[in-house]
Chains A and B, each alone.
Chain A
């Protein structure tokens, strides 16, 4: 186990709704990255937070937003859910925002949008 936890483990929403996913980083880590992994695909980078600031963003629309708290836990918010948002959402923590740092992944939250 990596020490990175995510909640909830599974979630079902309907199109147009909003969802908040949560991630607790590994002790001592100040950086959290979020990824979307569609079935049978590799993860796609959504964004990264380093010390409560967004520190990089992938090709996702603004309805994907995030927060990092002073304890370095993080939230991913998705507004106006679409069917294609159905995926496994992974968060990963690392000890710094440096590119060469190893990331430790949580087990993911599986989101189904109906």
Chain B
């Protein structure tokens, strides 16, 4: 069954600290993996996208890693800011079939001053 699981479900950190969010998937055939940031009440915004051959991708203070062998990805946030408070969603795209995108349920991050 094609699934994307994210952990933790929620996370609270202090401003300036680093954190790492996890994504495990059982999606096949694999095409790509994306991380999105979704502010409350708004649509998701793309942070990174990685294909099978990419191990890491950075976007400012966000760094995503992908291990296609173990089917795991992580999103590392460096020097967190209050504006990082949001849900972070991992999405795996399939290379074929009608179910194109499998979304995780997200990790809700709260950054405190």
Contacts and interface: CB of A to CB of B under 8 A. Distances in A.
Nearest to A4: B43
A103 interface: yes
A43 B89 contact: yes
Interface stretch (B12-20, B60-68, B78-86, B101-109): B101-109
The main secondary structure of chain B at its interface with chain A is strand
B70 interface: no
A35 B94 CA distance: 16
Interface string A91-114: 010000001101111111000000
The 10 closest A-B pairs by CB, nearest first: A105-B43, A42-B103, A99-B31, A42-B105, A56-B100, A56-B98, A99-B93, A45-B101, A43-B103, A105-B44
Contacts of B32: 99-100
Interface string A9-21: 0000000000000
Nearest to B36: A105
Contacts of B58: none
Given A42-B89, A43-B89, A108-B43, A100 B99 contact: no
Q: For chain B, give the interface size range.
A: 20 to 34
Contacts of A59: 99
A33 B106 CA distance: 19
B100 A99 contact: yes
B100 A103 contact: no
Contacts of B51: 100
Given A100-B31, A100-B32, A44 B43 contact: no
A102 B49 contact: yes
Interface string A69-109: 00000000000000000000010100000011011111110
Contacts of A33: 100-101
